[in-house]
Amino acid sequence: MKKTFQVLFVVLLTAVGADSQSFHRGNCPKPSVQEDFNVTKYMGTWYEIEKLPAVFERGKCNQATYTLLDDGTVKVRNAELLANGKISSIEGVAKVKNSSEPAILDVGFFKGAPDAPYWVLSTDYQTYALVYSCSNYFGLFHIDFAWMLARTRVLTEDVVSQLHDKLTAAGVNVKRLTVSDQTGCDVMT
Ligand SMILES: *[C@@H]1O[C@H](CO)[C@@H](O)[C@H](O)[C@H]1NC(C)=O
Ligand SMILES: *[C@@H]1O[C@H](CO)[C@@H](O)[C@H](O)[C@H]1NC(C)=O
């Protein structure tokens, strides 16, 4: 029962966000993920270049810092700069569920709340990363999220365009992506 309410709450939040394009009929697609994913090389800071949807976005300069812990899990720290000039951050933990599929992680931010999938579709570790997250609800519909990340606050158009192609291949409509504001972020370091 509690879980049902949580799910409804998430659904409601998303609906209120008015981005109904995040809802899709049927189950999640299963895009291919980064081969031979090496989580160690993936650690460090990544900046958000584009994402979908923009529902939960409040601030700008969004970035994520990943740290490998001794037990093999990953500490996640997401930070953003709010309009009032304050830095807002949230911490969570990501882990690989099945060591045969190292690019497929689950990430959790709140105790008791369901973990969200975190699929690394593609990364070269040094420049870009493409992350996809999709959850099924009642076998009726799914809601998806995607992030294009980079090691710097800008990514060349070439790479952006290649990553758009990869997202398209994964079944994501790239017209739904929003460009993240990574200007005036000096206070974030
Ligand atoms: C993963 O990357 C780290 C850091 O570059 C390296 O030391 C390690 O050997 C790599 N692991 C595998 C399985 O390739
Ligand atoms: C782990 O992944 C492999 C490869 O995809 C799969 O064959 C295996 O069944 C999975 N194991 C579990 C426990 O899900």
DSSP H helices in 17-156: 39-42
Fold of 32-134+144-180: Lipocalin (2.40.128)
pLDDT digits (tens, 9 = 90+) for 14-71: 544 444 457 788 899 999 999 999 999 999 999 999 998 755 557 899 999 999 999 9
* Residue that is written with structure tokens 């930070």 in the block: 79
CA of 141 to the centre of ligand 1 (A): 38
Atom 2 in ligand 2: residue holding the nearest Cα: 100
Expressed in angstroms and rounded, the spacing between residue 134 Cα and the centre of ligand 1 is 28
- Rounded distance between C-alpha atoms, residue 34 and residue 159, angstroms: 16
- What residues are in contact with ligand 1 under a 6 Å CB criterion? 38, 40-41
pLDDT at 2 over 80: no
Quick check: 7 pLDDT over 70? no
Model confidence pLDDT, tens digit, residues 121-170: 999 999 999 999 999 988 888 889 999 999 999 999 999 999 999 999 99
Contact 30, 172 (CB under 8 A): no
The residue whose C-alpha atom lies closest to atom 6 belonging to ligand 2 is 100
Q: What is the Cα–Cα distance from 188 to 177, expressed in whole angstroms?
A: 24
What is the per-residue pLDDT for 139? 84
* Ligand 2 centre distance from Cα of residue 167 (Å): 24
96 CA to centre of ligand 2 in angstroms: 12
Which atom of ligand 2 lies closest to the CA of 101? 2
Protein residue with its CA nearest to atom 12 in ligand 1: 38
Q: What is the pLDDT of residue 138?
A: 87
For residue 68, the CA-to-ligand 1 centroid distance in Å is 13
Sort 48 into a burial class: Cβ within 10 Å, 0-12 / 13-18 / 19+: buried
End-to-end, the C-alpha distance of the chain in Å comes to: 43
How far apart are alpha carbons 163 and 31 in whole angstroms? 13
Of the two residues 58 and 108, the one the predictor is more confident about is 108
Task: Please give the number of the atom of ligand 2 that sits closest to the Cα of 98.
Answer: 1
